[in-house]
């Protein structure tokens, strides 16, 4: 257990309040929580990749950073049109 | 044996993780979506930058891991700013019905 895994574990615990807002909040609050969850998980994957010292593990947070961006934008686009 | 480099890593990772945790707790503590958005946006800048700095401290800037970490931090920061703006617009539209400032907001210079 090194400092990278400790950090990743702490951030996974930090996802609990985010999940709470995601589940219990209204649609706008859930959208904000989704954005933060994507960021935190990307950082967790980055920490895990460095913890294992595997070069290929860095692909995952990079892809997540892009897909989280696109995913939230899609939600924003559809929420502008519809009364969800 | 713990070296100076290890202590530097502890500090950088600690600051990065703490910044992310503060954002997570702040998201829960705030009451409105627009207030929560401040914490969600803050998490895209400070935390990933310190984690990328920690990776670069360990692996070196000109390395596959260092460059990948910098790229991830930059993508998160740029995407976070853009998403913050887009989400703020949709929050404003759905709570006020328009992006235009109200008379009271104009009065106080908003």
Structural domains of chain B, with CATH: 4-107 (1.10.287)
User: Chain A contact for B85, CB < 8 A?
Assistant: no
How far is it, in rounded angstroms, from Cα B101 to Cα B103?
7
How far is residue A23 from each of residues A9, B7, B40, B42, B43, measured CA to CA in Å?
Answer: 22, 38, 16, 22, 20
Judge whether residue A83 has pLDDT over 70: no
CB contact under 8 A, B91 and A35: no
CB B45 within 8 A of CB B54: no
Judge whether residue A81 has pLDDT over 80: no
Q: Which residues contact B21 (CB under 8 A, 6 or more apart)?
A: A10, A11, A14
Judge whether residue B96 has pLDDT over 60: yes
CB A45 within 8 A of CB B58: no
CB contact under 8 A, A72 and B68: no
Task: Give residue-wise pLDDT tens across range B13-55.
Answer: 999 999 999 999 999 999 888 999 999 999 999 999 999 999 9
Please give the tally of structural domains in chain A: 1
Candidates A43, A61, A72: best to mutate against B (most CBs of B within 10 A) is A43
Range of the domain at A15: 3-81
In the predicted model, what is the mean pLDDT of residues A65-73? 94
Task: Compute CA B18 distance to the chain's CA centroid, rounded to the nearest angstrom.
Answer: 12
């Amino acid at each position: 257990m090194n400092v990278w895994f400790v950090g990743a574990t702490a951030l996974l615990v930090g996802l609990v309040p985010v999940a709470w807002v995601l589940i219990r909040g209204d649609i706008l609050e859930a959208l904000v929580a989704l954005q933060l969850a994507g960021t935190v998980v990307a950082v967790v994957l980055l920490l895990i990749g460095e913890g294992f010292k595997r070069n290929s593990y860095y692909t995952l947070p990079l892809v997540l950073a892009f897909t989280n961006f696109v995913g939230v934008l899609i939600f924003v686009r559809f929420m502008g049109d519809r009364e969800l | 044996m713990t070296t100076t480099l290890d202590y530097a890593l502890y500090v950088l990772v600690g600051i990065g993780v703490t910044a992310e945790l503060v954002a997570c707790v702040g998201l829960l503590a705030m009451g409105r979506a627009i207030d929560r958005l401040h914490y969600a946006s803050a998490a895209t800048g400070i935390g990933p930058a310190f984690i990328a700095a920690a990776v670069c401290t360990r692996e070196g800037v000109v390395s596959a891991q260092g460059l990948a970490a910098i790229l991830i931090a930059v993508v998160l920061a740029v995407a976070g700013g853009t998403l913050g703006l887009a989400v703020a617009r949709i929050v404003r539209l759905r709570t006020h019905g328009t992006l235009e400032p109200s008379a009271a907001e104009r009065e106080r210079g908003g």
